[in-house]
């Protein structure tokens, strides 16, 4: 790393490239920087000395970083890696090289194309093959552009050698890296094993960021560097750290990007990441992370901001999120130690080597403090985010299913923990010690196996439950109180006047009609349907009938199901009836003059008809429920007229109006009925009250406001489709067990809790996350490991009863710096967010905001006080792992839920949306991704489909630009005032900004710009597993306001700018220090 | 029938009125000494060939509003008539100006004590002129139980199919099916079959039903918001607050196809029945929903709820038994011991339902077909109050049900003359009070000077409502003589007058008013019994006693009907018999009374008094019919008729005695509810050997055929259709005959009497002879 340090000034450009492009650059060989890069990379390489490994690695790297965009979500396994690699390149390139033109134009297309071919997973599989594949892709279209791009970056000017160079270059470079880098990292980090660090990710980002902003990297950087002084801290620190310690926080000033410090770090990390996959990733980063082994290493620090420096602070240099574009290859355990997971938002491929994949369970801190004191000193919280059915990366190994037969899985007889790789077999394998409660059990006779010389069972590697962090057991009879339930889908559609007239009914019917084909096949799938206005209308779909029979339940105070059978019928038997019915419902009710909606009664009635089986109840609701059980009043209006009533009254509006729906929901949950709410409305519907039902039953709320049949139908369909087709389970029970010394304090998410230890989930799917907060009840031993086991007993859509068990074993530490080093930013922030969301309905907004800020400040303060080695007053010192915490905290303060000026329903929806939100989606929600799309033609082709992101700062928006911003839920496209009409025409089919209407549908026109835009949007949809509500915005009207409300780094009337916020925090910390 | 004297062809005559006493004792004391109460049995709308239909409005007395009648004194010169009831002088209106001694209107003809007016817009016109012009079509609301086996349901469905085909085109039809829940079918919804479902376990008020069906007041209040029927045609504008009901009730011609398809697809109730349990059947709620639905129809529209019930109500209000099969349905014994936990509640429920229907003017008909009881005993109150029909059968496939059901919808000669919205008013001379009516009607609580202080049946009024009535409907009016003995003996006329005013909506929709004015004579019983005796109508008296006994059995706890009958009989005999004190052999009875003891003997043994042989449902059924049938039919119920057929003799009445059984005879027993053809042993053997098929034995064939033909005659005339039992001597079915015969030959005396081919009855019951002997003894010794 010494080299890196030195090089910086010049390096930057190169460095960036290298990191990102790694392979490509190498391939290119063109630029000198490459070598450096190579050296960096080498860091990783050292171990892998083999040529082959490299080959493999590179792809993996690529994959990991760029991952997010293309490969991340959807692409098939093979594709991603290669793609990623390529993709990475472009981003990096771009970022590093400010030069928009060359890069943009050529690269984009190629990259895009590439991804698919490379498919082969390099990481796990033979590197060679991977390499081979790459060339292929490149060669195809990308080659020309692709190469050029990288080359540019590296060298700066040169272009186009690309294609051939790549292939060869790659390989050659590969080897090189090892040497150079290798030396670096190792020294720094004792244990090279842990490869990818969070830091790495971030670091890489900064560079990228810069390019976007500054336009000229080098220029900017230099200038930056100067201003840097204010940051004085960094530069000084930087050099030393870099040299000696790979990780040490980079110095902002120095680097081009303020982030430079980060950037610096990044670099190292990148290489590491790249390297790590194969052997053990980058040493450098690892060190800090793993801290443990290398005792001394300082935790990562980041720069401080001096207050005085404020004015000079270049917003571009402060810590920012920068998506890495490579795919990270992550082994969950290495060297018999937990390997800290890559950032949740990054693209990674997990190899389960004992611990469960971080997709299923991540901890806020990857080393568990031994004592509660230590934990409280750190001010961080200890919690798990559990997403038991999370989607895996296509190239990951599928979860193995283990069938123990009648006897069921082996379990600890005391704590009932499931057998896992950390159960220690002793006494010739005759007994085993539970890693959770410490109890010694007899090994069941037929499970006995002798121990090998290493003290492990000889069959440990043959039995998935003994070598994998996540396995799925086939549940025996003992786990069934009844036969596993069939997959029941019950659709409940609002047909009141409003719903009919806005087209919501028609949209729902058509969506359902299309989705029927996607429902799981087989005799286990049952469907039912009902409509409601001021009465509830069921339909008997029995095959024998010539036509469906409509059954009306008119008593909406005290409902019941109109038939015992025939309301819910096997799909195979009623498909025709169902289709006819769905087609006729909108016309049948087209003259409906009933404005009332008996939502509560309808849901209850539907529930009663599903009671015997349980299942999913999908409700399409359009207006405020006005009659029958659980009817609501327009509290919003009352609230408004009552504005003077004070905050308490205002808060009440965010709470359910009464317990009726809650009581109902608990009953639903008891009978395994899960309610999903699709709210297609133009008005206030009191989501605060309604959402209790889905929330308690493991469902979720979909909110289309204001609903437009034109634009939202497609999203409705896609949401519904994903809802029924995504991996999911029914009648589930979940429990998390912890090693002695730690216990579960609380679960939070969308579920029903009847007994303190278990979580009842009428349904659970891949998008649902549960936060599990933990507490100490005893001291842990340093050097020991603390395990967490999440067991989810559920029924698959095909009616099999399964137990998914994920085990995560983390080492314990007594050292505060280790904790900071191993802190998981995404997870921590997710916890902060969820807690804040939970607080909103019960505390005044200001208080919630203060709390969120304080959490952030306390952590930074603890770090500053106990870990930071540099203690200049003028510096704001951030732990490397958590350096983005302030940014996210600021974004959180400005989020929908915490803004008190938002619509009530919007806020309530936000609160609900957050509750089960998976970790990878948490950050985009508060800090959306913004990209420029007006210049797609120019920069496009780097590698990833999705161009580099831009910080959410309105300064970054130009008058000629078109920007796309997405947060996983909404997607806003902002068209600035003087956009080239040509572009408008090509993209949206309109000729001027004035033609922008509220009703926007993204269409694909026959031009490359439009195609690219569509490709981008589709890619985002894939990544987010969400169709996104698209909206066109322009300056000067409400849509524009909406868009600008997402510019969280801006100064707003009610909030600080990012820089100000940093200063604000810094001041508070100083106050505390004093 | 063994009473040739009574075989007059038309004892009721044009009046349709028969009284226990033709001549009335003057005082209350005297009346009570007569033992048999003064009562009139009236058939308010009995058809008669001579009945005059007057197309104009009746003239009413200014003060008592009785109608002009032949007994009014008319002053032809002054054009004044004097009301015989209140002696008010009334001026004839101008259009009677041509009135003269030789030119009198029909209502003044002395031989037309009954006339019928056709009312045009009468009463209604100021309320609802538009409607009155075109008489509202009758509504038939079918309520079908679906908790039965497939086969039974298909019988019921085909019966309904046929019925719908027979309905007049303008009849409005609605359909409700029920099982565990009630399904109200919206026949007017074209897109698909649509039903409103009500839970069977919850009692609903009329308003709730209407509101939930979207035709309630509250929904009307919501200004044209028509709920539920979102898809249906928009409500007909201007049809008033009840427009929504047209969604459920459609003209038969419009919905016949819909209904037939609907019936085709209708299956048995889908709710599961746990083993060991009865099906959950919510008859009560179904009926109250039906009543509620009809509540939205136009006031004054004739409507009937025709319920086809296949089992006991086990769910919701009106339940009569728990769903657990191990709890049997209540028996008389349970009722006696107050061990029927559901009974009182259910009766109360149906009582309320009856009140609601009466206030709406609608009828409840129940057709029950089940092997077990279905709850007629509880429903009786609602059926009777509304004047509904009831038929009890054991299967929907049985002719008792099938043919009876068909009869309701028949036209012309066969028609039952089902009419709606009847009301009866009674005007009577001073000193006559009305105690009440036993029969299918409801008191309207119209108070007046003629209201007696004691109440029998529906009393405390001089006006009654009969939501449903037909040409056979018969009411028993109990009179009391006022004790105002002293009231100006001088001016006392020897005549008494009673006027029955029956207004009703005939089956063709016309409003009619039947005015029947009868005159009877006062007798001064102090002058001797002769006049009274001559005026005694034994048949009526027997029926009245039977009705009164039934009524008392229901109303009075611990009432011992047998004792009561005996005591009355003895008192009667001692008062009107000729005898020497304490000399039983000297006892003789005037022919006018001669049959009465035998009637009483048979009454004591009948199903009306000996209830323990029957289920409460059967008893209720019998009583309903006893109360609503004509005197002659009721008499047959009490004392069946027996006709004997033999070779070489003409068929003739036979003694209702076991000794009438002979091996070579065929007996035809008509006990009203069943008609038994009983083949003597020999006849049965001949028949079995097929002699009737041999040409040389054609006479035997005729013999076999004759009772069959006669039975068919009886059956055709009767509603409900009686059960036809064809049996042979010593066959198991022979019990239907034996149970009705006088047990003059039993196992205890068989040796004395046994003659060839006869039979004995295994019973300890006394025979008629023994009964009479005792009676004589007691009558003469009584002081």
ipTM of the complex: 0.84
CA distance B237 to chain A (A): 15
Nearest to A328 by CA among A662, A71, A117: A71
Distance CA B404, CA A921 (A): 75
- Closest CA in chain A for residue B234: A591
Distance CA B120, CA B122 (A): 5
Distance CA A264, CA A247 (A): 8
Distance CA B681, CA B728 (A): 7
| Residue B433 DSSP SS3 | strand
Interface test with A, best of B178, B182, B197 (most A CBs within 10 A): B197
H and E: helices and strands count for chain A: 44, 30
Chain A residues with CB under 8 Å of B189 CB are: 550
Whether cis (ω within 30° of 0) applies to the bond prior to A327 is: no
Chain A residues with CB under 8 Å of B270 CB are: 563-566
Chain A residues with CB under 8 Å of B272 CB are: 564
Count CB atoms within 10 A of the CB of residue B237.
7
Burial of B166 (0-12, 13-18, 19+ CB in 10 A): middle
Long-range own/partner contacts, residues A236-242 (CB < 8 A, 24 or more apart): A236/A870, A237/A261, A237/A301, A237/A303, A237/A870, A238/A5, A238/A8, A238/A264, A239/A5, A241/A298, A242/A1, A242/A2, A242/A4, A242/A5, A242/A8, A242/A268
- Which pairing describes strands A431-433 and A424-426: parallel, antiparallel, or unpaired? antiparallel
Q: A595 vs B213: CB contact, 8 Å cut-off?
A: no
Distance CA A118, CA A545 (A): 54
B682-727 confidence digits (pLDDT tens) = 999 999 999 989 998 998 999 999 999 999 999 988 989 999 999 9
Cβ-based neighbours of A576, under 8 Å, separated by 6 or more: none
Cα dihedral: B312, B318, B324, B326 (round 10): -70
Residue ranges of chain A with pLDDT lower than 50? 1-311
Give the helix/strand (H/E) hosting A513. helix A504-516
The DSSP call for residue A305 is -
Would you place residue B752 in the very low, low, confident or very high pLDDT band (cuts 50, 70, 90)?
Answer: low
Chain B residues with CB under 8 Å of A541 CB are: none
CA distance A592 to chain B (A): 4
pLDDT at A195: 33
- Closest CA in chain B for residue A500: B230
Q: B213 vs A554: CB contact, 8 Å cut-off?
A: yes
pLDDT at B121: 55
Distance CA B649, CA B643 (A): 12
H and E: helices and strands count for chain B: 22, 31
Burial of A200 (0-12, 13-18, 19+ CB in 10 A): buried
> Lowest mean pLDDT: which of A184-193, B80-89, B753-762?
A184-193
Between residues B135 and A150, which one has the greater pLDDT?
Answer: B135
Phi and psi, residue A426, nearest 5°: -135, 175
pLDDT at B234 over 50: no
A936-949 confidence digits (pLDDT tens) = 877 655 566 778 88
B475-525 confidence digits (pLDDT tens) = 999 999 886 655 555 456 688 899 999 999 887 778 899 999 999 888 876
Chain B residues with CB under 8 Å of A554 CB are: 196-198, 211-214, 228
Rg, C-alpha atoms of chain B: 28
Q: B265 vs A546: CB contact, 8 Å cut-off?
A: yes
Distance CA A286, CA A331 (A): 13
Between residues A76 and B152, which one has the greater pLDDT?
Answer: B152
Q: Using CB atoms, pick whichever of B197, B208, B211 lies closest to residue A553.
A: B197
Q: The pTM is what?
A: 0.78
Count CB atoms within 10 A of the CB of residue A616.
26
B388-424 confidence digits (pLDDT tens) = 999 999 999 999 999 999 988 887 777 888 899 899 9
Sign of CA dihedral A879, A884, A890, A893: negative
Q: B194 vs A550: CB contact, 8 Å cut-off?
A: yes
| Residue B234 DSSP SS3 | coil
pLDDT at B484: 60
B630-683 confidence digits (pLDDT tens) = 999 999 999 999 999 998 888 999 999 888 888 889 999 999 999 999 999 999
Q: Are A344 and A920 in contact (CB under 8 A)?
A: yes
- Looking at chain B, the whole-number percentage of residues with pLDDT higher than 70 is 90
**How high does pLDDT run on average in chain B?**
86
Rg, C-alpha atoms of chain A: 28
CA distance A498 to chain B (A): 12
In the predicted model, what is the mean pLDDT of residues B352-357?
A: 93
Q: Are A18 and A44 in contact (CB under 8 A)?
A: no
Q: Using CB atoms, pick whichever of B197, B199, B212 lies closest to residue A551.
A: B197
Burial of B359 (0-12, 13-18, 19+ CB in 10 A): middle
pLDDT at A942: 57
Would you place residue B597 in the very low, low, confident or very high pLDDT band (cuts 50, 70, 90)?
Answer: very high
Alpha carbons within 13 A on the beta-carbon side of B373: 24
Q: Using CB atoms, pick whichever of A548, A551, A594 lies closest to residue B227.
A: A594
Q: B192 vs A535: CB contact, 8 Å cut-off?
A: no
Q: B212 vs A555: CB contact, 8 Å cut-off?
A: yes
Chain B interface, Cβ < 8 Å to A:
180-181, 183, 186, 189, 191-199, 202, 204, 208, 211-214, 224-228, 230-231, 234, 261, 265, 267, 270-272
- Which pairing describes strands B463-469 and B442-443: parallel, antiparallel, or unpaired? antiparallel
Interface test with B, best of A548, A549, A578, A606 (most B CBs within 10 A): A549
Count CB atoms within 10 A of the CB of residue B43.
24
Q: Using CB atoms, pick whichever of A548, A558, A589 lies closest to residue B230.
A: A589
B61-78 confidence digits (pLDDT tens) = 988 889 999 999 898 888
Q: Are A57 and A168 in contact (CB under 8 A)?
A: no
Q: Return the structure tokens found at B276.
A: 């060991």
Map tokens 């087989």 to a residue: A522
Q: Using CB atoms, pick whichever of B192, B213, B265 lies closest to residue A550.
A: B192
- Closest CA in chain A for residue B213: A554
Between the two ends of chain A, the Cα-to-Cα distance in Å is: 36
Distance CA A284, CA A282 (A): 5
pLDDT at B292 over 80: yes
Count CB atoms within 10 A of the CB of residue B41.
25
CA distance A534 to chain B (A): 7
pLDDT at A82: 35
Distance CA B589, CA B570 (A): 12
Q: A549 vs B192: CB contact, 8 Å cut-off?
A: yes
Nearest to A499 by CA among A629, A597, A581: A597
CA distance B514 to chain A (A): 44
CA distance B187 to chain A (A): 12
Q: A552 vs B195: CB contact, 8 Å cut-off?
A: yes
Chain A interface, Cβ < 8 Å to B:
495, 500, 533-535, 537-538, 544-555, 558, 560, 562-566, 584, 587-596
Q: Are A387 and A918 in contact (CB under 8 A)?
A: yes
CA distance B136 to chain A (A): 29
pLDDT at A110: 35
Distance CA B695, CA B688 (A): 16
CA distance A561 to chain B (A): 8
| Residue A995 DSSP SS3 | helix
CA distance B323 to chain A (A): 18
Chain B residues with CB under 8 Å of A547 CB are: 192-193
Between residues B489 and B463, which one has the greater pLDDT?
Answer: B463
Q: Using CB atoms, pick whichever of A566, A584, A596 lies closest to residue B191.
A: A584
pLDDT at B757: 66
Q: A554 vs B271: CB contact, 8 Å cut-off?
A: no
């Amino acid at each position: 790393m010494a080299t890196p340090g030195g090089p910086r000034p010049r390096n930057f450009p190169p460095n960036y490239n290298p990191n990102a492009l790694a392979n490509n650059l190498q391939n290119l060989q063109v630029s000198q920087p490459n070598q450096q890069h190579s050296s960096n990379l080498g860091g990783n390489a050292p171990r892998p000395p083999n040529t082959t490994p490299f080959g493999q690695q590179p792809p993996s790297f690529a994959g990991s970083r760029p991952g997010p965009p293309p490969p991340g979500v959807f692409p098939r396994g093979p594709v991603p890696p290669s793609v990623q690699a390529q993709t990475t390149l472009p981003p990096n390139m771009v970022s590093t090289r400010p030069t928009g033109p060359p890069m943009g134009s050529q690269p984009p297309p190629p990259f895009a194309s590439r991804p698919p071919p490379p498919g082969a997973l390099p990481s796990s599989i033979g590197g060679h093959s991977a390499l081979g594949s790459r060339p292929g892709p490149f060669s195809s279209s990308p080659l020309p552009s692709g190469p050029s791009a990288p080359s540019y970056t590296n060298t700066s000017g040169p272009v186009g050698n690309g294609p051939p160079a790549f292939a060869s270059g790659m390989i050659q470079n590969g080897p090189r890296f090892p040497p150079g880098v290798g030396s670096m990292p190792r020294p720094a980090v004792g244990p090279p094993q842990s490869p990818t660090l969070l830091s790495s990710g971030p670091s890489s980002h900064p560079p990228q960021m810069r390019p976007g902003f500054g336009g000229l990297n080098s220029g900017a950087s230099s200038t930056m560097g100067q201003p840097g002084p204010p940051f004085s801290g960094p530069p000084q620190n930087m050099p030393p750290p870099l040299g000696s310690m790979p990780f040490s926080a980079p110095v902002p000033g120095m680097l081009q990007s303020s982030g430079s410090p980060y950037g610096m770090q990044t670099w190292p990390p990148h290489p590491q990441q790249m390297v790590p996959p194969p052997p053990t990733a980058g040493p450098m980063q690892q060190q800090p992370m793993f801290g443990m082994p290398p005792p001394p290493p300082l935790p990562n620090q980041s720069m401080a901001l001096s207050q005085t420096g404020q004015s000079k602070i270049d917003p571009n240099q402060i810590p920012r999120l920068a998506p890495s574009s490579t795919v990270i290859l992550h082994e969950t355990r290495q060297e018999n130690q937990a390997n800290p997971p890559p950032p949740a938002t990054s693209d990674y491929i997990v190899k389960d080597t004992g611990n469960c994949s971080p997709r299923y369970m991540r901890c806020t801190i990857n080393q568990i403090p031994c004592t509660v004191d230590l934990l409280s000193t750190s001010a961080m919280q200890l919690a798990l985010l559990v997403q038991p059915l999370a989607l895996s990366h296509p190239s990951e190994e599928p979860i193995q299913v283990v069938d123990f037969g009648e006897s069921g899985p082996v379990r600890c007889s005391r704590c009932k923990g499931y057998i896992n790789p950390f159960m220690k077999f002793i006494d010739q394998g005759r007994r085993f010690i539970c890693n959770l409660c410490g109890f010694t059990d007899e090994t069941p006779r037929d499970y006995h196996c002798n121990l090998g010389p290493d003290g492990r069972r000889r069959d440990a590697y043959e039995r998935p439950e003994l070598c994998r962090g996540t396995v799925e057991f086939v549940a025996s009879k003992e786990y069934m109180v009844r036969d596993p339930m069939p997959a029941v889908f019950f659709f409940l559609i609002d047909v009141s006047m409003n719903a009919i007239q806005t087209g919501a009914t028609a949209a729902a019917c058509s969506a359902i009609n299309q989705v029927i084909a996607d429902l799981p096949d087989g005799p286990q799938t049952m469907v039912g349907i009902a409509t409601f206005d001021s009465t509830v209308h069921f339909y008997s779909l029995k095959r024998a009938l010539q036509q469906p029979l409509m059954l009306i339940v008119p008593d909406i105070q005290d409902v019941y199901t109109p038939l015992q059978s025939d309301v819910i019928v096997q799909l195979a038997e009623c498909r025709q009836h169902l289709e006819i019915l769905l087609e006729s419902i909108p016309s049948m009710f087209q003259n409906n003059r009933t404005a009332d909606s008996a939502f509560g009664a309808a849901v209850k009635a539907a529930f009663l008809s599903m009671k015997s089986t349980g299942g999913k109840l999908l409700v399409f609701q359009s207006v405020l429920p006005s009659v029958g059980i659980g009817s609501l009043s327009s509290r919003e209006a009352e609230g408004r007229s009552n504005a003077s009533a004070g905050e308490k009254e205002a808060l009440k509006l965010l709470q359910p109006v009464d317990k009726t729906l809650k009581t109902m929901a608990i009953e639903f949950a008891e009978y395994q009925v899960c309610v999903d709410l699709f709210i297609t409305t133009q008005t206030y519907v009191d989501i605060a009250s309604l959402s209790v039902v889905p929330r308690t039953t493991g469902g979720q709320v979909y909110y289309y406001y204001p609903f437009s049949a034109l634009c939202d139908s497609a999203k409705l369909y896609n949401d519904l489709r994903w809802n029924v087709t995504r991996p999911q389970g029914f009648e589930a029970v979940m429990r998390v067990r912890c090693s002695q010394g730690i216990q579960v304090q609380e679960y939070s998410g969308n579920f029903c809790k009847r007994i303190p230890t278990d979580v009842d989930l009428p349904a659970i799917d891949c998008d649902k996350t549960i936060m599990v907060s933990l507490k100490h009840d005893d001291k842990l031993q340093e050097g020991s490991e603390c395990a967490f086991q999440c067991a989810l007993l559920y029924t698959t859509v095909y009616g099999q009863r399964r137990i998914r068990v994920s085990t995560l074993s983390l080492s314990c530490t007594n050292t505060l710096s280790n904790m900071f080093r191993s802190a998981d930013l995404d997870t921590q922030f997710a916890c902060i967010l969820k807690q804040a969301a939970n607080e909103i309905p019960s505390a005044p907004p200001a208080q919630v905001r203060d709390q969120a800020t304080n959490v952030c400040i306390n952590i930074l303060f603890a770090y500053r006080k106990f870990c930071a080695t540099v203690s200049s007053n003028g510096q704001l010192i951030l732990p490397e792992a958590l350096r983005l915490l302030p940014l996210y905290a600021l974004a959180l303060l400005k989020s929908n839920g915490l803004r008190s000026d938002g619509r009530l329903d919007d806020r309530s929806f936000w609160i609900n949306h957050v509750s089960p939100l998976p970790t990878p989606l948490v950050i985009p929600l508060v800090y959306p991704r913004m990209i420029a799309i007006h210049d797609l033609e120019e920069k496009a082709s780097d590698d990833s489909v999705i161009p580099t992101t831009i910080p959410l700062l309105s300064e970054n928006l130009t008058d000629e630009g078109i920007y796309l911003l997405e947060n996983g839920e909404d997607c806003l496209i902002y068209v600035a005032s003087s956009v080239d009409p040509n572009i408008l025409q090509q993209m949206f089919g309109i000729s001027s900004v004035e033609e922008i209407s509220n009703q926007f549908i993204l269409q694909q026109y026959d031009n490359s710009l439009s195609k690219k835009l569509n490709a981008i949007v589709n890619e985002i949809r894939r990544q987010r597993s969400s169709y996104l509500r698209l909206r066109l915005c322009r300056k000067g009207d409400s849509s524009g306001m909406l868009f600008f409300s997402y510019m969280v780094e801006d100064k707003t009337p009610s909030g600080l700018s990012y820089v100000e916020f940093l200063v604000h925090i810094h001041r508070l910390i100083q106050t505390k220090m004093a | 029938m063994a009473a040739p004297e009574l075989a007059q062809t038309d004892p009721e005559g044009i009046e349709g009125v028969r009284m226990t006493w033709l001549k009335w004792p003057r005082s209350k004391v005297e009346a009570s000494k007569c033992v048999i109460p003064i009562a009139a049995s009236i058939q308010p709308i009995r058809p008669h060939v001579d009945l005059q239909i007057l197309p104009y409005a009746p003239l009413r007395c200014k003060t008592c509003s009785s109608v002009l009648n032949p007994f009014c004194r008319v002053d032809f010169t002054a054009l004044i008539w004097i009301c015989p009831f209140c002696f008010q002088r009334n001026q004839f209106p101008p259009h009677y100006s041509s009135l003269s001694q030789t030119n009198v209107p029909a209502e003044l003809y002395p031989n037309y004590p009954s006339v019928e007016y056709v009312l045009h817009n009468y009463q209604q016109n100021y309320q609802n002129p538009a409607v009155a012009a075109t008489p509202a079509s009758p509504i038939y609301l079918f309520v079908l139980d679906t908790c039965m086996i497939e086969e039974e349901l298909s019988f019921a469905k085909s019966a309904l199919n046929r019925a719908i085909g027979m309905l007049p085109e303008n009849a409005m039809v609605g359909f409700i099916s029920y099982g565990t829940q009630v399904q109200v079918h919206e026949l007017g919804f074209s897109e698909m079959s649509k039903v409103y479902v009500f839970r069977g376990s919850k009692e609903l008020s009329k308003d709730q039903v209407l509101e939930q069906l979207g035709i309630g007041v509250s929904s009307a209040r919501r200004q044209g918001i028509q709920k539920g029927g979102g898809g249906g045609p928009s409500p007909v504008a201007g049809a008033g607050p009840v427009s929504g009901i047209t969604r459920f009730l459609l003209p038969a011609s419009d919905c016949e196809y819909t209904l037939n398809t609907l019936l085709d697809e209708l299956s048995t109730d889908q709710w599961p029945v746990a083993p060991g349990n009865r099906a959950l059947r919510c008859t009560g709620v179904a009926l109250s929903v039906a009543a509620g639905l009809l509540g939205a129809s136009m006031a004054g529209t004739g409507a009937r709820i025709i319920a086809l019930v296949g089992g006991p109500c086990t769910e919701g209000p009106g339940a009569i038994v728990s769903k657990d099969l191990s709890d049997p349905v209540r028996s008389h014994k349970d009722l006696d011991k107050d061990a029927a936990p559901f009974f009182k509640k259910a009766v109360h429920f149906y009582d309320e339902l009856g009140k609601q229907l009466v206030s709406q003017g609608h009828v409840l008909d129940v057709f029950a077909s089940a092997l077990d009881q279905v709850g007629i005993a509880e429903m009786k109150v609602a059926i009777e109050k509304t004047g509904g029909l009831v038929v009890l059968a054991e299967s929907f496939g049985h002719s008792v049900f099938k043919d009876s059901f068909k009869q309701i919808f028949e036209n012309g000669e066969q028609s039952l003359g089902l009419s709606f919205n009847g009301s009866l008013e009674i005007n009577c001379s001073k000193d006559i009070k009305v105690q009440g009516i036993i029969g299918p009607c409801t008191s309207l609580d119209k108070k007046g000077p003629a209201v007696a202080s004691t109440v029998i049946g529906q009393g405390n009024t001089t006006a009654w409502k009969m939501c449903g009535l037909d040409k056979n409907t018969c009411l028993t009016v109990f009179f009391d003589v006022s004790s105002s003995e002293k009231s100006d003996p001088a001016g006392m006329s020897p005549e008494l007058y009673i006027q029955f005013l029956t207004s009703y909506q005939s089956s063709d929709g016309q409003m009619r008013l039947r005015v029947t004015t009868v005159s009877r004579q006062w007798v001064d019983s102090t002058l001797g019994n002769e006049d009274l005796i001559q005026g005694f109508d034994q048949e009526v008296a027997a029926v009245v006693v039977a009705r009164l006994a039934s009524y008392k059995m229901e109303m009075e706890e611990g009432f011992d009907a047998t004792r009561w009958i005996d005591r009355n009989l003895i008192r009667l005999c001692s008062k009107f018999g000729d005898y020497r004190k304490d000399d039983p052999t000297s006892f003789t009875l005037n022919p006018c009374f001669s049959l009465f003891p035998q009637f009483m003997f048979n009454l004591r043994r009948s199903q009306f008094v000996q209830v323990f042989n029957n289920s409460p449902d059967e008893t209720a059924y019998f009583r309903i019919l006893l109360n609503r049938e004509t005197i002659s039919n009721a008499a047959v119920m009490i004392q069946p008729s027996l006709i004997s057929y033999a070779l070489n003799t003409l068929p003739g009445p036979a003694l209702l005695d076991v000794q009438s059984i002979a091996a070579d005879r065929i007996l035809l027993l008509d006990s009203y509810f069943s008609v038994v053809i009983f083949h003597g042993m020999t006849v049965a053997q001949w028949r079995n050997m097929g002699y009737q098929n041999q040409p040389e034995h054609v006479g035997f064939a005729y013999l076999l055929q004759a009772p069959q033909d006669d039975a068919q005659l009886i059956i055709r005339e009767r509603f409900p259709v009686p059960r036809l039992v064809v049996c042979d001597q010593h066959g198991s079915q022979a019990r239907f005959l034996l149970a009705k015969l006088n047990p003059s030959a039993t196992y205890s005396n068989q040796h004395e009497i046994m003659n060839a081919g006869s039979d004995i009855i295994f019973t300890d019951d006394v025979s008629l002879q023994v009964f009479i002997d005792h009676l004589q003894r007691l009558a003469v010794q009584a002081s």
